[in-house]
Amino acid sequence: MAHNGAANERLIWIDLEMTGLDTDNDSIIEIATVVTDAQLNVLA
């Protein structure tokens, strides 16, 4: 399959909710992801 530049690009946006910013003591409590195309249209 040929690559058509931006037409085939997918961006994965990741949002983490954490109990704090210290990786030794804090934890991730929620993860959300969104997949968009190059024009930021939501795909998944």
Give a yes or no: residue 20 inside a domain.
Answer: yes
Which residue do the tokens 């530049």 mark?
5
Position 33 scores a pLDDT of: 98
CA distances from 33 to 12, 24, 38, 43 (A): 7, 24, 16, 11
Tell me what pLDDT residue 39 has: 95
Residue 42 located in a structural domain:
no
Full domain range(s) for residue 18: 5-37
How many independent structural domains does the chain possess?
1
Residue 8 pLDDT: 81
Task: Tell me, yes or no, whether 13 lies in a domain.
Answer: yes
The pTM for the full model equals 0.67
User: Is residue 43 assigned to a domain?
Assistant: no
